[in-house]
């Protein structure tokens, strides 16, 4: 069962812990736990409110970052985005699951080239 918008903080933390989304260093730090809850609630809002419009495309370069072990999103999510990209597309698979580790977060600026065109294809 996936989390819902009306779940309490305790229910969301329990779900994230059960599914391996909250490592010990996050659980041990109240600020990181709060940030994880905010991110999860944002994910749930997007999941529950996004509606695809038939024929819609994205005309800007698109880079999709996914976690290699992410079991929260559907396995073909990156390919679904590829079908919408008209301005270039790149998929980067990062180590880890749905939430990135501090080590991955620190490398993100080097992985996202500012204003660099993404090759078409």
Q: How far apart are CA 60 and CA 25, in angstroms?
A: 37
pLDDT at 91: 92
- Confidence band of 12 (pLDDT split at 50, 70, 90): very high
- Read off the DSSP letter of residue 84: T
pTM: 0.65
Task: Give per-residue pLDDT as tens, 54-107.
Answer: 889 989 888 898 989 888 788 888 888 898 999 889 998 998 887 777 788 788
Q: How far, in Å, CA of 100 to CA of 111, rounded?
A: 13
- On the question of pLDDT at 110 being above 60, the answer is yes
Alpha carbon distance 121, 114 (integer Å): 19
pLDDT tens for residues 26-61? Answer: 888 999 899 989 989 998 998 888 887 888 998 988
d(CA 23, CA 44): 20
With the C-alpha atoms ordered 73, 38, 94, 89, is the resulting torsion angle positive or negative?
Answer: positive
User: Cα–Cα–Cα angle for 114, 118, 121, nearest 5°?
Assistant: 165
Helix (H) or strand (E) holding 94: strand 89-94
**Does residue 117 surpass a pLDDT of 70?**
no
């Amino acid at each position: 069962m996936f989390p819902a918008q009306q779940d309490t903080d305790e229910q969301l933390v329990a779900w994230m812990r059960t599914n391996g989304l909250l490592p010990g260093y996050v659980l041990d730090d109240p600020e990181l736990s709060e940030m994880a809850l905010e991110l999860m609630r944002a994910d749930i809002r997007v999941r529950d409110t996004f509606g695809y419009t038939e024929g819609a495309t994205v005309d800007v370069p698109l880079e999709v970052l996914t976690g290699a072990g992410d079991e929260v999103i559907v396995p073909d999510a990156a390919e679904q985005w590829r079908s919408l990209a008209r301005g270039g597309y790149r998929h980067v698979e990062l180590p880890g699951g749905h939430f990135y580790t501090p080590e991955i977060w620190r490398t993100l600026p080097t992985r996202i080239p500012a204003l660099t065109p993404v090759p078409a294809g």
